[in-house]
A and B are shown apart, each in its own frame.
Chain A
Amino acid sequence: MFYRLSGVHHADYISDSRMFKVPADRNLAVFFLIIGVAAPFIIPSLYLNSYMLPWLIWTAAALGLNLVTGWAGQLHLGYAAVMAVGAYSAIHAAKFGVPWEFALIIGGLASSVIGSLFAFAALRVKGLYLALTTLAMQFVMDWVLTHSPAISGGSHASLQSPTLALLGQDITSDAGYYYVAFGWCVLVTIFMLNLKRTGLGRALVAVREKDFAAAILGVNSFYYKILAFATSSFIAGVSGALLVATFFFLAAPEQFSVNVSIQVLAMVIVGGLGSIIGSYFGVALILLVPGLVNGLVAAGSEAIGMQINVETLAHIPNAVYGALIVVILLIEPLGLGKLYGNIREYLMVWPFDQLRK
């Protein structure tokens, strides 16, 4: 009823490989696109810039990780390091006088180059060992960042981002920052939506399912693994650069530490491997819920007159964040995207359940 299927027939391959096979999905996407465009006018700017904006940029970043982990099946625990490469190269380029459009691309390309180094680990090992190698690479990158003042910006290890300017316009307003983030997130989402319809996407899935078997089918798994790492690193680099340019305004090594890598992976897995809508949910959950719970606990303890000490309060979000990961994985190992899929499946034929295939 909600997803009307009557009259929807796919009679040829072109119509069967459309992006949205059910009109309701497309309508929903258009609806959220309109809400996204209208957001600065309907959402107070405090919420816009402290919740919506990081949510969108982290979603773009998580989609990039989803490409390499969800589609190509390569574990990656060094994603924040790749984001750092993009952020630092873009900011240095912008400081040097390169226009921001090119600075962002430079950041993305620099990330691609460094990110492809991670891929060489993926050519040798996979699974757990790949995760550990990328984790070690993350530590190496952290070390390089904190130990080279030339990159991280002097003794304070912080680098001021120059004013963002795109297409000749200085961007300084809250709405402006939001639209940059929104535009990037939409761009990445469109790319990812189209990925599954292309040969590249199918090759990546083949590599994920079994790289040896893919090789037997004639899919060059070497090539596609490097391609997956390079593409996802490009997305990571630009996302990292935008994150600093529109949200942090100041690049510091802690913003891209190993905990951040784990956080992005948590977003992807909680959202659901290979699920695009899931990445949106996963990022929202991991980014926003710990803060919300903390606010609730603080308010609750005040309401009942119980004194919770500051230190306890400071560590509750972390405990909640860990518990969230565990609980979601236990409830639905395939993530929130799968939960959404289940609801959609159910509503697809409701109230005529007997029609379910």
Chain B
Amino acid sequence: MDWIFLSELAINGALTGLLYSLFAIGLVLIYKASSVPNLAQGGLTMLGAYVVVALSHDAGLPLWLAIPLAALFMFALGFGIERVALRRLAGRPVVMILMLTLGLDIFLRGTTLAIWGGTSRSMELGVSYDPLFLGDIFISRIHLVGAAVAIGLFVAFMLFFRSRTGIKLRAIADDYTASWSVGISVERGVGLSWALASVVAVAAGVIWGEVQGVDQSLSLLLLKGLTVAVLGGLDSILGAVIAGIILGIIENVGADFIDPLVGGGSRELIVAAVLILTVMIRPHGLFGRHDIERV
């Protein structure tokens, strides 16, 4: 057993996992604020990345301007999605809302590709590709940056959910009707959560776009994001961060053991297995709230 190699796998896995968390935070935010499963996060992430690329490369804006502008655009888009689509389905069975977000995802992906085409583009963040050596362990710089962004967002949202607005969002997730009755604007709260998730999608899109190129494979992060969100508990941001690290390590180390046995490509399988096992053993995840159902 090569311990250095194993720890390198684990550390890089944890960093990749934090990038999954970055994606999953978008799912958790919306679930935490409105109990709506957001399967459109893949499409949003892809759109976010394309908007940044369009602003910075096609329009020639510097990155420090392009990213905030894209975030602003996506913030408005998130509000728009709630206003146009989600509001009219509030209170409907979960299957319809699930389908709505899937439809949105397909629509966003199709529209993005119809506008900008499917060829892979590069983000060009300007982060050096030189590896960083920590003793004998090799670490990628962009993953480190992404992990820092994920943790930064985590801290920001932890503080946010303690603020007055954040508490309102938590109340909305708990009970729509009760929130209405005490004067909370449920519509605005849900809209805000979609807007924030769209901004998170820009962050995830930028980092993932730098890691693997800006193309439609960005929307394939959905399964990993969902696994992280479920493993951590769908309504826990702390859970998303910790589950991201756990999934990243399991995936990276597990793939190293299983790949030679099955001839490669076992990452998807490990992620799917983690999702199934989580739901079977502990549906509310590591830190999620266990809902009690009444007849």
Which residues 255-277 in B have Cβ within 8 Å of A in the complex? 262-263, 265, 268-269, 271-273, 275-276
Which residues 309-326 in A have Cβ within 8 Å of B in the complex? 309, 311-312, 314-326
A125→B92 CA distance, assembly (Å): 19
Given A75-B95, A329-B89, decide whether A133 and B106 contact each other with a Cβ distance below 8 A: no
Q: Which residues of B contact A131 (CB under 8 A)?
A: 37, 94-95, 98
B269 closest partner in A (C-beta): A143
Tell me if A330 and B89 are in contact (CB < 8 A): yes
Interface: B114 (CB within 8 A): yes
A152→B46 CA distance, assembly (Å): 31
Partner of B283, one of A124, A212, A311, A315: A124
A136→B224 CA distance, assembly (Å): 10
What 1/0 flags go to A290-330 for Cβ under 8 Å of B? 00000000000000000001011011111111111110011
Given A128-B94, A212-B295, decide whether A136 and B223 contact each other with a Cβ distance below 8 A: yes
Tell me if A311 and B107 are in contact (CB < 8 A): no
Given A69-B95, A323-B107, A325-B102, decide whether A132 and B230 contact each other with a Cβ distance below 8 A: yes
Q: How many A residues touch B, CB cutoff 8 Å?
A: 48
B81 closest partner in A (C-beta): A326
What 1/0 flags go to A63-105 for Cβ under 8 Å of B? 0000001000001000000000000000000000000000000
Tell me if B96 and A333 are in contact (CB < 8 A): yes
Tell me if A132 and B268 are in contact (CB < 8 A): no
- Interface contact tally, CB-CB below 8 A: 148
Q: Which residues of A contact B280 (CB under 8 A)?
A: 121, 124-125, 133
Tell me if B104 and A322 are in contact (CB < 8 A): yes
Q: Which residues of B contact A316 (CB under 8 A)?
A: 110, 114
Question: What's the minimum C-beta distance from B103 to chain A, rounded to whole angstroms?
Answer: 3
A133→B276 CA distance, assembly (Å): 5
Which residues 104-163 in A have Cβ within 8 Å of B in the complex? 121, 124-125, 127-129, 131-133, 135-137, 139-140, 142-143, 146-147
Partner of A216, one of B103, B262, B295: B295
Q: Which residues of A contact B98 (CB under 8 A)?
A: 75, 128, 131
Tell me if B99 and A265 are in contact (CB < 8 A): yes
Tell me if A315 and B99 are in contact (CB < 8 A): no
Tell me if A315 and B275 are in contact (CB < 8 A): no
Q: Which residues of B contact A326 (CB under 8 A)?
A: 85, 100, 103-104, 107
Interface: A241 (CB within 8 A): no
A325→B102 CA distance, assembly (Å): 9
A345→B117 CA distance, assembly (Å): 46
Question: What's the minimum C-beta distance from A322 to chain B, rounded to whole angstroms?
Answer: 3
Tell me if A143 and B230 are in contact (CB < 8 A): no
Q: Which residues of B contact A320 (CB under 8 A)?
A: 110
Tell me if B110 and A329 are in contact (CB < 8 A): no
Tell me if B226 and A333 are in contact (CB < 8 A): no
A314→B119 CA distance, assembly (Å): 13
Interface: B204 (CB within 8 A): no
Question: What's the minimum C-beta distance from A330 to chain B, rounded to whole angstroms?
Answer: 5
Of the candidates A133, A265, A312, A323, the one having the most CB atoms from chain B within 10 angstroms of its own CB is: A133
Q: Which residues of A contact B89 (CB under 8 A)?
A: 329-330, 333
A129→B114 CA distance, assembly (Å): 33
Tell me if A136 and B272 are in contact (CB < 8 A): yes
A318→B111 CA distance, assembly (Å): 8
Partner of B276, one of A136, A147, A309, A317: A136
Interface: A242 (CB within 8 A): no
Q: Which residues of A contact B100 (CB under 8 A)?
A: 325-326, 329-330
Q: Which residues of B contact A216 (CB under 8 A)?
A: 295
Given A133-B280, A137-B276, A311-B118, decide whether A322 and B99 contact each other with a Cβ distance below 8 A: no
A210→B66 CA distance, assembly (Å): 50
Tell me if B99 and A140 are in contact (CB < 8 A): no
B106 closest partner in A (C-beta): A322
B108 closest partner in A (C-beta): A322
Tell me if B110 and A315 are in contact (CB < 8 A): yes
Question: What's the minimum C-beta distance from B18 to chain A, rounded to whole angstroms?
Answer: 22
Q: Which residues of B contact A312 (CB under 8 A)?
A: 114-115, 117
A266→B107 CA distance, assembly (Å): 13
Partner of A325, one of B106, B263, B273: B106
Interface: A262 (CB within 8 A): yes
Given A140-B273, A265-B99, decide whether A319 and B283 contact each other with a Cβ distance below 8 A: no
A142→B265 CA distance, assembly (Å): 12
Q: Which residues of B contact A212 (CB under 8 A)?
A: 293, 295
Tell me if A311 and B113 are in contact (CB < 8 A): yes
A311→B98 CA distance, assembly (Å): 29
Q: Which residues of B contact A318 (CB under 8 A)?
A: 106, 109-110, 113-114
Which residues 217-243 in B have Cβ within 8 Å of A in the complex? 223, 226-227, 230, 234
14 A-B pairs with C-beta separation under 8 A? A124-B279, A125-B280, A125-B283, A128-B94, A131-B37, A131-B95, A133-B280, A136-B227, A136-B279, A140-B273, A311-B113, A319-B106, A320-B110, A321-B106
5 closest pairs, A vs B, by CB? A322-B107, A325-B103, A319-B110, A318-B110, A322-B106
Which residues of B come within 8 Å of A, CB atoms?
37, 84-85, 88-89, 92, 94-96, 98-100, 102-111, 113-115, 117-119, 223, 226-227, 230, 234, 262-263, 265, 268-269, 271-273, 275-276, 279-280, 283, 293, 295
Which residues of A come within 8 Å of B, CB atoms?
69, 75, 121, 124-125, 127-129, 131-133, 135-137, 139-140, 142-143, 146-147, 210, 212-213, 216, 262, 265-266, 269, 273, 309, 311-312, 314-326, 329-330, 333
